[in-house]
């Protein structure tokens, strides 16, 4: 009787506290652009402290928004991609990726061209993730009414909005939207304000990129193709100063450096045109596996060139024409002098330049970041020429040319070859080929940096190397650094995290042995003995035995007479991972999860299709066709909650043992909750 009374009290308490969160309110409208083209506009108002993610947020982090335009075939065509407003970019230390999200407001637009004149409505299905302390998997279906009158009315924008805009909240039941027949664009002052705020978030990354490419430009000056050019070029400007025209010599030196920078910036300008034609081109490049393979091949070719197998050069006829043009006087001659340097030194700067362009193009940074990268690279290359021309007395501090220049070039070759495998890894991850899993990637890097160490110690010689009579201090230190890095990488083959290169190798889950080499299908019990992993279970975080099917987990709990802990979670849920890493791993909590409960983790964003026999529709018409949707619907219908993480302790009759909790970073509070539920189970 007491147990029944306790269960009733807890059940009432639970339903009094559980709630369905809906932190995002939507308004939709149709804007007629022409006789056959319409713009579908979806405006989101997001509750304070909540945010939703961009459709372009990188893989490996939170779930991006996705749009599905229903019944398009034969009725309408999409004109371009879904356009979204400016987002914020923030680094997530849990997933170790940048994430793009919207706070307070978000807007998505899609232009369509009607091909069926009888079309009356367009349905758009959207999936997204809303997060605060918990995350919520949400989906909506919007119904846009297409007007019968397809003649565009040219009217004042503000009047048209006030007279015709009747935007309504939508739900899974699909409400309709009003039509706004306007041609003039809306006021974009708010968009400009949001862009200004977004620039602040990107400032740090821009400076890191600029400084990195500036250093790269400085380093390539210490190569056989560039370094000898410094005294030759400086002597040209010194001759002008010697003739008594010191001011002219200094000005020409500055213009020479300016033109070097100008030419490199000029190389980036076509990418601005590409981006204007296709705003998503950089995102497509960064995620396209075949382009990543192309970058891999280019980097390998450049690296082999640096190692001395061959030289990548511009045709000599072009170089000769440019060199002859440099004899012209004035700024034109100086411009062609700068162009001659860039062409002649291409065999050394080309691979480094390819690394800069490929590195930026493989991100979503856009043409602006590419221009900043080229600006930094050009400044780095031009700086020594300008500095020594302006201050010739410093020339005496320059080291003499020699075999060390080729050594620098070879070191670049090893590093570029290592970076090439990052592009191959990205393609492999996207296509799920499992060709370059974590162990293979790390083994390749161990081989390359061990080879670099041997080369620097003089145990390996390559073409164009000078005889090595002794090790310079700099070469010895670099060799020791490469050897130390090689030794650091070795434990990664057995599952070490390798935080120094986090983000470069594939994740631990993309591995031949995700639990480490020597792993066996056994678990350590609380009394120190081992036992086999139960059927239909797997190892979750910290090797906790985990079921991913509700019925399988409940059946096992009955067999071993332990309470069940349901963990409504998500693969892209930040605070779910934070709970697992910061709370579950602690010695106060981990033994309880391993020994006293049966864990059932249900991923609400699992897109694995359900068997056809298990597909069903909810009373409001939503089709449940994936495991993620099934567990999300289960959470909503049974527990009246749609947040993640969400934890429930229950007995074998599927009755709650205490009040469910969400994100609980307080370790003692979470421990008390676990102990309370387990104690109630034992009564």
Tell me the per-residue pLDDT of 661-670, one tens digit each, with 9 for 90 and over. Answer: 988 989 999 9
Superfamily of domain 522-682: Glutaredoxin (3.40.30.10)
- Give the per-residue pLDDT at 200: 44
Place of tokens 């382009």: 291
> pLDDT higher for 199 or 622?
622
Residue 159 has pLDDT above 80, yes or no: no
| Tokens standing for residue 337 | 């002098």
Residue 351 has pLDDT above 80, yes or no: no
- Give the per-residue pLDDT at 287: 60
Domain at 26-187, CATH from 3.30.70.20, 3.40.50.12780, 3.30.1330.40, 2.60.40.1250 = 2.60.40.1250
Rounded Cα distance between 134 and 136, Å, is: 7
Rounded Cα distance between 451 and 280, Å, is: 40
pLDDT tens sequence across 273-318:
876 766 556 656 666 778 788 888 988 988 898 888 877 665 666 5
Place of tokens 């400007």: 237
> pLDDT higher for 400 or 423?
423
Rounded Cα distance between 641 and 84, Å, is: 29
Residue 521 has pLDDT above 80, yes or no: no
Contact 72, 121 (CB under 8 A): no
Instruction: From residue 432, give the alpha-carbon distance in Å to each of 510, 605, 631.
Output: 9, 19, 25
- Give the per-residue pLDDT at 235: 73
pLDDT tens sequence across 29-78:
999 888 889 999 999 999 988 999 998 887 767 888 989 999 888 899 99
Chain-centre distance of CA 228, in angstroms? 41
Rounded Cα distance between 19 and 40, Å, is: 32
Q: Picking from 195-209, 310-324, 459-473, which range would have the lowest pLDDT averaged per residue?
A: 195-209
- Give the per-residue pLDDT at 49: 84
Contact 267, 312 (CB under 8 A): no
Residue 205 has pLDDT above 80, yes or no: no
- Give the per-residue pLDDT at 318: 57
Terminal CA-CA length for the chain: 12
SS3 content of the chain, % helix, strand, coil (to 5): 50, 20, 35
Q: Coil, helix or strand for 102?
A: strand
At 567, the pLDDT band (50, 70, 90 cuts) reads very high
Rounded Cα distance between 606 and 633, Å, is: 13
- Give the per-residue pLDDT at 600: 96
> pLDDT higher for 657 or 22?
657
| Tokens standing for residue 525 | 């019990």
* Most confident range, picked from 437-446, 525-534, 573-582: 437-446
115-144: burial string, b at 16+ Cβ within 10 Å, e else: eeeebeebebbbbbbbbbebbbbbebbbbb
pLDDT tens sequence across 212-252:
888 888 888 887 778 777 777 777 776 665 555 667 777 78
Instruction: From residue 665, give the alpha-carbon distance in Å to each of 23, 88, 122, 645.
Output: 22, 25, 44, 11
pTM as predicted:
0.52
| Residues ≥6 apart with Cβ < 8 Å to 155 | 181, 182
Per-domain residue ranges for the chain?
26-187, 201-402, 437-519, 522-682
Rounded mean pLDDT of the chain? 78
Neighbour tally for 378: CB within 10 Å? 28
Query: E-assigned strands of 33-104?
Result: 37-46, 51-53, 66-69, 76-84, 88-92, 97-103
| Tokens standing for residue 490 | 């070795």
- In the chain, pLDDT over 70 holds for what percent of residues? 75
Rounded Cα distance between 118 and 132, Å, is: 43
Contact 76, 113 (CB under 8 A): yes
| Residues ≥6 apart with Cβ < 8 Å to 364 | 56, 58, 282, 283, 286
Of 544, 547, 551, 566, give the one whose Cα is nearest residue 14.
566
| Tokens standing for residue 570 | 């998500």
Residue 170 has pLDDT above 50, yes or no: no
Residue 175 has pLDDT above 50, yes or no: no
Kind of pairing between the strands at 537-539 and 530-532: unpaired
């Amino acid at each position: 009787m007491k147990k029944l009374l306790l269960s009733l009290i807890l059940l009432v308490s639970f339903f009094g506290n559980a709630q369905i969160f809906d932190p995002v309110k939507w308004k939709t409208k149709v804007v007629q652009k022409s006789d056959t083209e319409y713009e579908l506009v979806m405006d989101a108002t997001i509750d304070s402290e909540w945010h939703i993610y961009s459709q372009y947020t990188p893989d490996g982090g939170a779930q991006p928004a996705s749009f599905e335009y229903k019944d398009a075939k034969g009725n309408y065509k999409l004109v371009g991609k879904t356009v979204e407003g400016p987002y914020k970019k923030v680094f997530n230390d849990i997933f170790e990726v940048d994430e793009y999200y919207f706070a307070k407001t978000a807007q998505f637009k899609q232009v369509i061209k009607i091909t069926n004149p009888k079309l009356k409505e367009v349905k758009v299905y959207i999936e997204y993730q809303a997060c605060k302390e918990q995350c919520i998997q949400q989906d909506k279906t919007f119904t846009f009414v297409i007007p019968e009158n397809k003649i565009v009315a040219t009217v004042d924008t503000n009047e048209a909005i006030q007279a015709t805009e009747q935007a309504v909240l939508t739900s899974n039941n699909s409400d309709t939207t009003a039509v706004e027949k306007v041609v003039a664009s809306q006021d974009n002052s708010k968009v400009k304000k949001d862009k200004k705020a977004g620039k602040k978030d990107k400032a740090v990354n821009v400076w890191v990129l600029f400084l990195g490419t500036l250093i790269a430009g400085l380093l390539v000056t210490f190569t056989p193709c560039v370094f000898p050019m410094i005294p030759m070029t400086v002597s040209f400007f010194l001759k002008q100063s010697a003739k008594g025209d010191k001011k002219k010599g200094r000005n020409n030196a500055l213009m020479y450096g300016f033109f070097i920078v100008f030419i490199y910036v000029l190389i980036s300008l076509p990418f601005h045109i590409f981006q204007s034609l296709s705003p998503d081109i950089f995102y497509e490049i960064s995620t396209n596996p075949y382009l990543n393979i192309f970058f891999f091949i280019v980097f390998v070719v450049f690296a082999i060139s640096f190692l001395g197998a061959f030289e990548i050069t511009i045709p000599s006829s072009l170089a000769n024409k440019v060199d002859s043009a440099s004899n012209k006087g004035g700024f034109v001659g100086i411009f062609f002098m700068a162009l001659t340097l860039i062409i002649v030194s291409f065999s050394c700067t080309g691979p480094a330049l390819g690394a800069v362009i490929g590195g930026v193009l493989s991100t979503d940074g856009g043409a602006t970041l590419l221009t900043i990268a080229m600006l930094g690279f050009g400044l780095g290359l031009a700086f020594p020429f300008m500095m020594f021309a302006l201050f010739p007395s410093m020339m005496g501090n320059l080291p003499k040319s020699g075999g060390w220049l080729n050594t620098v070039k070879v070191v670049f070759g090893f590093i570029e070859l290592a970076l090439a495998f990052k592009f191959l890894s990205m393609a492999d991850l996207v296509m799920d080929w499992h060709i370059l899993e974590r162990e293979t990637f790390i083994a390749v890097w161990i081989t390359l940096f061990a080879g670099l160490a041997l080369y620097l110690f003089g145990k390996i010689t390559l073409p164009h190397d000078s005889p090595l009579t002794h090790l310079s201090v700099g070469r010895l230190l670099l060799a020791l650094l490469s050897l130390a890095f090689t030794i650091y990488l070795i434990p990664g083959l057995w599952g070490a995290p390798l935080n120094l290169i986090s983000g470069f190798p594939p994740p631990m889950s993309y591995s031949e042995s995700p639990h480490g080499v020597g792993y066996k299908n056994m678990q350590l019990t609380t009394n120190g003995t081992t036992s086999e992993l139960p059927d239909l279970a797997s190892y979750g975080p910290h090797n906790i035995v985990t079921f991913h099917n509700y019925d399988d987990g409940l059946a096992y709990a009955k067999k071993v007479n332990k309470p069940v802990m349901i963990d409504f979670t998500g693969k892209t849920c930040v605070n779910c991972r934070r709970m697992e890493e910061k709370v579950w791993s602690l010695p106060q909590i981990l033994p309880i999860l391993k020994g006293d409960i049966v864990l059932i983790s249900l991923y609400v964003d699992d897109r694995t299709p359900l068997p056809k026999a298990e597909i069903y529709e909810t009373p409001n018409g939503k089709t449940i066709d994936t495991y993620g949707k099934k567990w999300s619907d289960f959470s909503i219908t049974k527990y009246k909650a749609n947040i993640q993480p969400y934890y429930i302790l229950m007995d074998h009759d599927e009755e709650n043992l205490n009040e469910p909790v969400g994100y609980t970073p307080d370790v003692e509070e979470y421990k008390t909750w676990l102990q309370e539920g387990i104690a109630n189970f034992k009564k």
